[in-house]
Amino acid sequence: MNANGRSKIVAVLGLAGVLAGCKVGPDFKRPEPPRAERYTAQRLQLEAGTTPIPDQQIAAGEDPGREWWHLFHSDALDAVVRSALEGNRTLVAANATLAQARELAGAQAGALYPQLAMTAGVGRQRYGAEFLGSFAKPPPFNYYALGPTVSYALDYTGGTARSVEQQYALAEYERQQLNAAYLMVTGNAVLQSLRIALLQGEIATVEAILEEDRQNRQLVEVAFEAGSVSRVDVVSAESQLASDATLLPPLRQELGVARHALSIIMGRLPADAAPPEFALSQVTLPRSLPVSLPSELAHRRPDILASEARLHAATAAVGVATSNLYPHIVLTGSVGLQSTVMGSLFDGGSTAYGAAGSLTAPLFDGGTLRAQKRAAVAALQASAANYQQTVLEAFGQVADSLEALEHDAEQLDAQAHAQDAARENVDLTRKSYNEGNVGVLQVLDAERLYQNARLGYVRAQAQRYMDTVQLFLALGGSGP
């Protein structure tokens, strides 16, 4: 090749490099987080600087940590979550989907580089008279060819780079989906464990109530035999026992469902799993609640980050659609060996080379390409709105959890007072009954109030634990 030819090739390659640095379409800019100083309109009693509700207080600006369930200081709870992380099939699927997305992004990135291939061919050729015209017609001949070829799509508009950017954004979306699955699995494992502990506490409470009902029935039967009460009192005591006994089957059925659900979360068949049994008394309620600042929430929650990745992909898609409006340029080149005799294929005179460029420009497509660009812009606008909605819902969930925790503490205090008052009422009513001042119906009414108060206290206690878990989940764990 002479110097003039080499200089032309260098000039073409230099121009290609310059043009490849251009990108059409908007550049993605990460959305600014909401400018909010608090999650709720009113200052909560859980917040520092106000009268703290007993047992729990907000630690603003702190991170719950990726293993946030350790804040409950329960070995049994830790074992359940560990089993769920090891066996849950949703996490396995999310990991595989992420690996697929990353490989697809890597495959798309290969289009940014020249494509090199080795070709080899052998054949027999015969030219017809119409093809050669007035030239002498050669006899049929064999041919042999061997050599590399290279092609390069000149990405002067940046369309290929935008498509790579889009694929990597989709891979980031899948990474955040994996983080969301991790948070969901750990959260569900803890919530179901607490649900089991709550139901076991309710069952123990009902069984204690049934034992008291049996004692009441026995006392009434003794009094009936002594002639101090009527048959109506005996029937009332028996009716109370029978009525309270109906509370057990639904609770046991709910307990079975909760155990089965926890087995599925841990990736086991219900018949094979044996979830550890523990009471709420074995789980420590976190006294310090790590709560990230509102300005940090949008950079922590997996669902927000996943929505941000979708927004990034939609932004890149506009660039891809815009690039399709411009001509496509492909440069190709080849060098190799060609011969009509196999034995002379590797001789010096068999060397052959070629270079070419092609341009394909859209002239008329019925408006398809411009409609596709408008569709990409509309999809970008939808992604932006969905991102904003996801952020709003996230802030709402954190606010709901904080409000719930404040009212849970108030509810637990009220239930404790109600339980104490009902217990005292039962004691006084029984004493009056033994002295003959009241009938058995008053005793049964007092027992019923006390039963409701005891169950209400157990449920209010468990609700604080569950709402604490919901707060950690609403905060997004420890972020990416």
Token pair for residue 442? 């008053």
Residue of 259 and 10 predicted with greater confidence = 259
pLDDT band at 4 (very low <50, low <70, confident <90, very high): low
Q: With left for phi above 0 and alpha for psi between -120 and 50, is residue 133 left, alpha or beta? A: left
Mean pLDDT of all residues in 254-282: 86
Token pair for residue 272? 């094979």
Mean pLDDT of all residues in 327-345: 84
Mean pLDDT of all residues in 291-310: 93
pLDDT band at 237 (very low <50, low <70, confident <90, very high): confident
Q: What was the pLDDT predicted at 216?
A: 80
Mean pLDDT of all residues in 209-231: 84
pTM of the model: 0.84
Domain ranges across the chain: 3-111+160-324+370-474
Mean pLDDT computed over every residue of the chain: 86
The pLDDT tens digits for 180-193 are 999 999 999 999 99
Residue of 335 and 136 predicted with greater confidence = 335
What distance in Å separates the CA atoms of residue 246 and residue 210, rounded to the nearest whole number? Answer: 10
In percent, the amount of the chain with pLDDT more than 90 equals: 48
| Angle formed by the axes of helices 159-226 and 248-265, nearest 10° | 150
Query: Contact at 8 Å (CB) between 330 and 34?
Result: no
Angle 391-397-402 from CA coordinates, rounded to 5°: 130
Q: What was the pLDDT predicted at 47?
A: 59
What distance in Å separates the CA atoms of residue 281 and residue 315, rounded to the nearest whole number? Answer: 52
Query: Contact at 8 Å (CB) between 224 and 234?
Result: yes
Residue 355 three-state SS: strand
pLDDT band at 10 (very low <50, low <70, confident <90, very high): very low
Residue 56's φ and ψ, nearest 5 degrees, are -140, 145
Mean pLDDT of all residues in 268-275: 81
pLDDT band at 342 (very low <50, low <70, confident <90, very high): confident
pLDDT at 137 over 50: yes
Across the strands, what pairs with 124?
A: 142
The pLDDT tens digits for 15-72 are 444 444 567 889 999 999 888 888 888 777 665 444 334 578 888 888 888 899 999 9
State the DSSP string of 109-134. HGGGS-EEEEEEEEEEE---HHHHTT
- In order of 9, 10, 107, 275, 353, the CA distances from 5 in angstroms are 6, 9, 34, 77, 13
Min mean pLDDT across 33-47, 95-109, 151-165, 381-395 is at 33-47
pLDDT at 73 over 80: yes
Mean pLDDT of all residues in 389-407: 93
Residue of 146 and 129 predicted with greater confidence = 146
Element (H, E) at 344: none
Min mean pLDDT across 99-113, 130-144, 210-224, 398-412 is at 130-144
Q: What was the pLDDT predicted at 344?
A: 78
Give the up-direction half-sphere exposure of residue 157: CA atoms within 13 A in the CB hemisphere: 22
pLDDT band at 11 (very low <50, low <70, confident <90, very high): very low
Across the strands, what pairs with 59?
A: 290
Indicate the DSSP class of residue 151: E
Residue 288 three-state SS: strand
pLDDT at 9 over 70: no
Residue type, 314: A
Residue of 119 and 170 predicted with greater confidence = 170
CATH 3.30.365.10 describes domain 3-111+160-324+370-474 = no
Q: What was the pLDDT predicted at 36?
A: 85
Nearest CA to 197 out of 262, 287, 286, 273 is that of 262
| Angle formed by the axes of helices 231-245 and 159-226, nearest 10° | 160
What distance in Å separates the CA atoms of residue 364 and residue 398, rounded to the nearest whole number? Answer: 53
Q: What was the pLDDT predicted at 1?
A: 46
State the DSSP string of 427-444. HHHHHHHHTTSS-HHHHH
- In order of 138, 150, 312, 338, 340, the CA distances from 122 in angstroms are 18, 20, 49, 10, 9
